[in-house]
Structure 1
Amino acid sequence: MDKAFLEALIAFDRRPESVRLRRRTYELLQVEPGSRVVDVGCGGGTAVAELADLGADAVGIDAAAEAVAFARGQHPRCRFEVGDAQRLPFADGSLDGYRAEKLYHALADPDKACAEAHRVLAPGGRIVLVGQDWDVFAIDSDDPVVTRTIVTSSADEIANGRVARRYRNLLLDTGLDDVSCEVHTTVLTDPELALFTITRLADGAVRAGAVSEAQAETWLDEQRSRADRDRLFVAMPQFLVAGRRPVTPS
């Protein structure tokens, strides 16, 4: 996880729709002063800082040491630790809230991570997952066939690129209740973030062997031309689910 990627995450975090989505996750977590909350896969630490501003006892966990160092630099008054989503450094039933954004698609075993969330939550504790399904991007293009190939194969190349569509069932199968599901669509038309996103998709398709480097470059050239003419369009649905550890065992 290099600095350029982390800076892109921060830029994405500052978008108005990203701010609104994070605020919605805090509402669903029912954050109150003193709430013990973990943000797993915390990246640049934006959510941890905002949770702390709401009075929560918040900690950010990320598997990447460089992300934790970056977050500490951005938010020196907040707590960040290197850790594994499948082996969190918390006692059983010790947390009031668990939040993970844009994380589960990168995990080899999302079910195990969700079971770990269940373990660390106190009875009545709340969980929120939010992220994109990498096979559900709408991109305006002159070549929809290549576009679909790039999107689908990029999702194939990611560890669990389609896990977001499973979020609701994942919570239910883990034994959580009071489960709700929402979809919030992010639209990218600005060149910096739109091209950053679709370049990642094209790179993934090349790694997957679905398109050649030449095909990917031709496709990207058309998207760059669209950027020059203010004609970029990328729509990315964000799936948001929330649930609760049952107060009494089922």
Structure 2
Amino acid sequence: MTKETDQKIQLPDDLIALLDSADRMPGANELRAQSYALLGSGPGMSAVDVGCGAGRAVAELAERGVKAVGVDPSERMIAVARGLWPEADFRIAGAYELPLADASVDGYRADKVFHELAEPERALAEARRVLRPGGRIVLLGQDWDTIVIDSADPALTRTIVHARADLTAGPRAARQYRSLLLNAGFDELTVEVHTGVFTGPAMLPLLVGLAEGARSTGAITHEQTDSWIAEQRARAEADRFFLALPMFMAAATGPR
């Protein structure tokens, strides 16, 4: 689900497909629309979408009359975005060094980005730099320690979730959005939590990735990995699969 890293990377086709699948999940359209509303999107507004991935949000903002720029550190992802939305403005860049002039945009949006940043404060300083006085910022993302999965082995599941979370630079960044924004000088803050509930097989790849990530750290064995994945597949086949994924959305206004 990652859309942003601290350096340029090349992304495999399966990850690109997974990101696209996530954008199409039930509730994803509504979540993006809410982020646009909190951004204050409308004709004549300008905005940057940081960690834009395949560019869907940039295209949807443009449909609302927003002059949107999408940035992502992955050359491959930007190439995909340009292929899908050839009329849009996409640029290769990370969150720490945006290719924008000072005080040049009205809005800043980052979706599933900050958990990949080792220095979120640095990214927010850059957000303040490019935002015009009173500009709006919206951050979205999941707390990687807060993923609810039904399993016959809750202890193993807990180990898997936490071990996979520790592979990210900032697994608990979403719960820190409010403090990070306040510390960066933003005000008029709001924080929302939207929980997606998934009961079908579409999210199996996410759970497989969690287990394989935990195994790579040595937290669980190959046998535990295979057994846990097999259980989740069996649950999906028997219509007993359950995953709840809280998504946090924080919005704030920059200094005037």
**Coarse TM-score class (shorter-chain normalised):** over 0.9
**2: CA distance, partners of 1:188 / 1:72:** 31
CA contact under 8 A between 1:154 and 1:202: conserved in structure 2?
Answer: yes
What do the CA deviations read for 1:120-161 (whole angstroms, capped 9, x no partner)?
Answer: 101010000000001000000000000000001111111111
Partner of 1:141: 151
Q: 2:116 aligns with which of 106, 123, 135?
A: 106
**2: CA distance, partners of 1:3 / 1:127:** 30
2:214 is matched by which residue type in structure 1? A
Partner of 1:226: 235
Partner of 1:21: 31
Q: Secondary structure at 1:157's aligned position in 2?
A: coil
Do structure 1's residue 171 and structure 2's residue 188 form an aligned pair? no
**2: CA distance, partners of 1:161 / 1:186:** 18
**2: CA distance, partners of 1:32 / 1:215:** 50
Do structure 1's residue 132 and structure 2's residue 159 form an aligned pair? no
Do structure 1's residue 198 and structure 2's residue 191 form an aligned pair? no
Unaligned stretches of 5+ residues in structure 2: 1-10
Do structure 1's residue 245 and structure 2's residue 254 form an aligned pair? yes
CA contact under 8 A between 1:39 and 1:47: conserved in structure 2?
Answer: yes
What do the CA deviations read for 1:81-135 (whole angstroms, capped 9, x no partner)?
Answer: 1101101011111110000000111112111111111111010100000000010
Q: Quick one: percent identity of the two aligned structures? A: 50
**1: CA distance, partners of 2:208 / 2:198:** 13
- How far residue 190 of structure 1 moved from its aligned partner, in angstroms, is 2.1
Partner of 2:53: 43
RMSD: 0.9
**2: CA distance, partners of 1:190 / 1:44:** 24
- TM-score, normalised by the number of residues in structure 2: 0.94
Q: Secondary structure at 1:230's aligned position in 2?
A: coil
- How far residue 16 of structure 1 moved from its aligned partner, in angstroms, is 3.5
**1: CA distance, partners of 2:217 / 2:124:** 28
- How far residue 15 of structure 1 moved from its aligned partner, in angstroms, is 2.4
Q: How does 1:37-186 map to 2 (within 5 A)?
A: 37-186=47-196
**1: CA distance, partners of 2:244 / 2:21:** 17
Instruction: Give every structure 1 segment of 4 or more consecutive aligned residues whose post-TM-superposition deviation is greater than 6 Å.
Output: none
**2: CA distance, partners of 1:131 / 1:191:** 22
**2: CA distance, partners of 1:186 / 1:116:** 31
Is 200-209 or 169-178 further displaced after alignment? 200-209
Is 35-44 or 8-17 further displaced after alignment? 8-17
Unaligned stretches of 5+ residues in structure 1: none
CA contact under 8 A between 1:156 and 1:208: conserved in structure 2?
Answer: no
- TM-score, normalised by the number of residues in structure 1: 0.96
**2: CA distance, partners of 1:142 / 1:3:** 32
